[in-house]
Amino acid sequence: MAATTKDEMTVFQKARMSATAAVIGGTLHGLIELPIVVPIEAAITQTQLNAKTFYWNFSNLVKTRQLYRALFTTAVGLIPKCWIHYAWLNLYIHYFVPSGDLKKATKQQSIMTGVATGASEVAFMTPFNLVKFRMQRPEWGYKNMFDCISRIYKEEGASAYWKGTHAVFWRNSICMLGMVGFYNTIAESLPENTTAKPAVAGASCGIVGSFMSYPFEMLRAARQHNVSFYDEMLMQGPKRLLAGYLPGAFRIVMHSMALGYIIPQMKNFGQVFEKKKE
């Protein structure tokens, strides 16, 4: 076997560092979000589909003891989901940003990283998200996650796991464009003495990303729950089309704040791991 060259070893080390950073960053992100995400997402899903207020849906889920209906499903998939998210993100940071540091990226490099990351997650994430969103709605009558998976396959076919893929593609790409593509621009515009600057920049990017992508989020909800987007959402006016937007934006802001803290540390995660192996 030919000896490994220095350049080949560098590429291998970068790949290993990326994977390590994805696991560490994804696990931290998943643990931070899980306790809060489940009830918020459940009420948002109901709001998107029945057009009642978020407060009404949240209260109703509490009364009927269905607020954490999707807890197990979310717990099973959230950390692996974050691994995939950070794996793609870190891959594209190294691909588009020569330094491997998003803080040093140009505006174009940041935008390309955000769009590519959001788009690349779609094939992996859509089936998991479909099951999670279906479990959030008691109206479907699924007994548990396994019953949900089984019934979707029997009643709608294997292709059903990828319902709304095109909407998820545009939603993810546009949302990540806002959350990652504008991060440096917003961070640099903040005063140097800004408290918790990464969180503030991340939250601001979350607001931008959620607003830009929300119509596609509603299209995703309609497709994955077998509802007519045109008749029941789009033609009902802006208020109906934006049902659940504010709590949805809060949800994405939380996600983006976590990104704001974790992204700058991802390179360090991998480097620390490599040093320990030497």
- Tens digit of each residue's pLDDT (9 = 90 or more) over 6-27: 444 454 555 556 666 666 666 6
Task: Give the 3-state DSSP-derived string for 10-56, with helices as H, strands as E and coil as C.
Answer: HHHHHHHHHHHHHHHHHHHHHHHHHHHHHHHHHHHHHHHHHCCCHHH
pLDDT at residue 139, as a whole number: 95
CA distance 64 to 67: 8
pLDDT of residue 256: 64
Sorted by sequence, the CB contacts under 8 Å of residue 212 that are 6+ apart come out as 174, 175, 177, 178
Mean pLDDT of 53-72: 95
Residue 183 has pLDDT above 50, yes or no: yes
What pLDDT, on a 0 to 100 scale, did the predictor assign at position 20?
64
User: How many Cβ atoms from other residues are within 10 Å of residue 56's Cβ?
Assistant: 13
Evaluate if residue 2 carries a pLDDT over 60: no
Kindly state the tokens that stand for 213: 């992508």
Residue listed under structure tokens 């279906």:
134
Yes or no: say if 105 and 113 are a contact pair by the CB < 8 Å rule: yes
Cα separation values, 226 from 46, 123, 138, 181, 243, Å: 14, 20, 15, 32, 17
Highest-confidence range of 60-64, 68-72, 167-171, by mean pLDDT?
60-64
What per-residue confidence (pLDDT) applies to 4?
A: 45
pLDDT in tens, 233-254: 999 999 999 999 999 888 777 7
Between these two residues, 49 and 257, which has the higher pLDDT value?
A: 49
- Residue 187: what pLDDT? 83
Position 45 scores a pLDDT of 96
197-206 pLDDT, tens digit each: 777 887 888 8
- Provide the pLDDT for residue 273: 52
Q: How far apart are CA 107 and CA 105, in angstroms?
A: 7
State what percent of residues in the chain have pLDDT above 70.
79
Tell me the range of 51-65, 178-192, 254-268 where mean pLDDT is highest. Answer: 51-65
Say whether pLDDT at 42 is over 50: yes
Which of 114, 84, 88, 110 shows the shortest CA–CA distance to 97? Answer: 110
pLDDT exceeds cutoff 80 at 60: yes
Which range, of 3-7, 59-63, 222-226, 269-273, averages the lowest pLDDT?
3-7
Count Cβ atoms below 10 Å from residue 194 Cβ, excluding itself.
Answer: 13
Q: Give the pLDDT confidence score for residue 261 in this predicted structure.
A: 60
Residues 81 and 121: their CA atoms lie apart, in Å, by 9
Pick from 127-131, 163-167, 174-178, 223-227: least confident: 174-178
Taking 70 as the threshold, does the pLDDT of residue 35 lie above it? Answer: yes
Q: What's the rounded mean pLDDT across residues 218-240?
A: 95
Query: What's the pTM value of the predicted model, to 2 decimals?
Result: 0.75
Note the pLDDT tens digit of each residue in 96-150: 888 877 778 888 888 888 888 878 878 788 999 999 999 999 999 999 999 999 9
Amino acid at 100: G
Instruction: Please state, rounded to an integer, the average pLDDT across all residues of the chain.
Output: 82
